[in-house]
Amino acid sequence: MSATTAENKVAVASQRQLIWWRFRKHKLALVSAFIVAAFYLVAMFADTIAYTEPFDTQSARSYIPPQPITWFDADGHFHPTVNALKGKRDPRTFKLSYAPDPGETRDLVLFGHGYEYRLFGLIPTDIHLLGVSNSRPQDALFLLGTDQLGRDVFSRLVLASRTSLTIGLVGVVMSLVLGVLLGGISGLYGGWIDVVIQRVIEILRSIPTIPLWMGLAAAVPNSWTPQQVYFVITLIISLIGWTELARVVRGRFLALREEDFITAAELAGASQMRIIFKHMVPSFLSHIIAAVSLALPAMIISETTLSFLGLGLRPPAISWGVLLQDAQNLQTLALAPWLLVVALPVIVVILAFNFLGDGLRDAADPYG
């Protein structure tokens, strides 16, 4: 391709194409996009990927360490199996120990049967991505071990990701809409509307969130499930959280409304809404994208933090924060360090979101 044709191609390309080309160049962001997508895919099919009902307790399965998989049989054929386990509590040390029973193995199968659930809340099924032959998965399969109550860590981790990855989304979207709308109005009109909105923002920003969180958690009706409580609190927090975005948007509006192309649009008789959404918003889209891609991981972290502190989600709800809270004691470190594995997806997804945001911000402003 000659330089001229390439230039021509750029000249006639649509904004969307330009963004994509630019984004493609940011390799880290591209990989991160796949990671984030994979996480959300897991969240979407959480029940299918998990193989054990996350609340199924059994003392005889307490603190089983992660289970190794034997991938090939004695003849070297691909034939994944897991060993049955023999457990006992030492009467002197009170420690539980599990030894593989070499005589008894279970075949690992794809699309095996497990607990019943509804896929997407609609289709009843009991097919799970992984299963074992001749036995219930909750008795035989412990890929990442079990916790004190004998619940499978892998399944709980997968189901927790659904809570942790989705519950903040609504809050972020709401913050975004409110922030752009109110910030836009404030910046565009100025005058007394601007003064009122700015003072409201200042008041809202002065409210400390942790006491608010504690108060709200105590005030909600007794009959709500922990998820409902958390969801509503997230909404309320997002009603406060829009302020930062609104400030930035207002600033951009103040700058942009003096620009010639806005004056041109006004003279051409475009409506206010058209001016805002067609002309002004795209010109600071990059900033909004950056804000959102940073707000999402912030939401995930705040869920994890608050649950870890015992203020957010509480068991029996499962989220990354709740699972981490389970791991914050001595006996976990000494006897069951595999419970700490929860920290891994938190780190990975937060990093991925940040790289993705970085890439998107660069790409959204292809002329920049």
Q: Does 25 bind another protein (CB under 8 A)?
A: no
- Judged by CB under 8 A, which of 240, 314, 348, 351 binds another protein? 314
How far CA 136 is from CA of 99, 269, 302, in Å, comes to 19, 69, 36
- Give residues 32-91 in contact with another protein (rule: CB under 8 A): 43, 47, 53-62, 64, 84-89, 91
Which residue in 131, 91, 139, 127 sits closest to 107, CA to CA? Answer: 131
Q: 287 or 314: whose CB is closer to another protein?
A: 314
Q: Is 58 or 263 the residue whose CB approaches another protein more closely?
A: 58
The residue (of 15 and 59) whose beta carbon lies closer to another protein is 59
Q: Figure out which of the listed residues 73, 101, 202, 259 binds another protein, where binding follows CB under 8 A.
A: 101
Residues between 330 and 349 with contacts to another protein, criterion CB under 8 A: 330-331, 334-335
Helices 153-189 and 285-308 cross at an angle (nearest 10°) of 140
222-261 residues in contact with another protein (CB under 8 A) are 222-223, 225-227, 231
**CB 180 → another protein: shortest distance, Å?**
23
104: exposed, middle or buried (C-beta count within 10 Å: 0-12, 13-18, 19+)?
Answer: middle
- Partners of residue 101 on adjacent β-strands: 84
Nearest to 286 by CA among 170, 340, 367: 367
- Residue 298 CB neighbour total at 10 angstroms: 15
For residue 283, count other CB atoms closer than 10 A to its CB. 15
Q: How far is the CB of 330 from another protein (least distance, A)?
A: 6
- Minimum separation from the CB atom of position 301 to another protein (A): 19
Among 140, 180, 292, 346, binds another protein (CB under 8 A): 140
Shortest CB 228 distance to another protein, Å: 9
Cα–Cα distance, 320 to 129 (Å, whole number) = 22
- Only one of the segments 116-124, 205-213, 284-292, 360-368 lies at the binding site for another protein (rule: CB under 8 A); that segment is 116-124
Contact 235, 174 (CB under 8 A): yes
Site string for another protein, 165-184 (x = CB under 8 A): -x---x--------------
The site for another protein (CB under 8 A) is made up of 43, 47, 53-62, 64, 84-89, 91-96, 98, 101, 104, 106, 113-118, 121, 124, 126, 134-136, 139-140, 148-150, 162-163, 166, 170, 218, 222-223, 225-227, 231, 310, 314-317, 328-331, 334-335
